[in-house]
Amino acid sequence: MAYIEKSEAPVPIPMGEYPATIKATEAEDGKYGTQIKFTFDLGRVVDMNDEDRDCTLLAWCSAKLNQKSKLWEWAMAAGADLDEDADGLDTDDLVGKRVLLGVAVYTKEDGTERNKVISVKPPRTKKAGTKPVKPVVKDDEDEDDDGPF
């Protein structure tokens, strides 16, 4: 066995949504049965210390595949071709796919802060030739301020 020096845990990144690539999937035996460990590569991000760094996050889901499972949701977000007649899923087919991660920050019992993947969604797509639409803010007041009512 090799000698491994103690290292500091990475500083968390701020809560938000981040584009990511599924870097790897791996089946692992867990406390509640077989789990699928996803490795997500977020590329360069700015952490909570304002340091620009490479970021990789891990997240697990049950190896159960049905329309109500997290694995189904994550696979569909990555563009898997699943429907009610699907026999199964090869998670290796998800490697290299782009997704949008919802990331939260939580505090462990020892007071250290860590990131947690809270959602996996399809990536945002930009349509050629379109501009972002600004939301319309509507007042609670009547539009005709001249009238008594």
pTM, entire model: 0.78
Can you tell me the distance from the alpha carbon of 122 to that of 99, in angstroms, rounded to the nearest whole number? 5
Range of the domain at 29: 16-121
For 2-57, what is each residue's pLDDT tens digit? Answer: 888 887 888 999 999 999 999 999 999 988 899 999 999 999 999 999 999 999 99
Number of folded domains in the chain?
1
Lowest mean pLDDT among 10-24, 94-108, 119-133: 119-133
For 56-93, what is each residue's pLDDT tens digit? Answer: 999 999 999 999 999 999 999 999 988 877 789 999 99
Q: Does residue 113 belong to any structural domain of this protein?
A: yes
Residue with tokens 């600004």: 134
CATH number at 28 reads: 2.40.50
Can you tell me the distance from the alpha carbon of 120 to that of 102, in angstroms, rounded to the nearest whole number? 6
Q: Does residue 131 belong to any structural domain of this protein?
A: no
Can you tell me the distance from the alpha carbon of 102 to that of 52, in angstroms, rounded to the nearest whole number? 19
Q: Does residue 62 belong to any structural domain of this protein?
A: yes
Q: Please name the helix (run of DSSP H) or strand (run of DSSP E) that holds residue 70, with its range, or none.
A: helix 70-77
Q: Does residue 55 belong to any structural domain of this protein?
A: yes
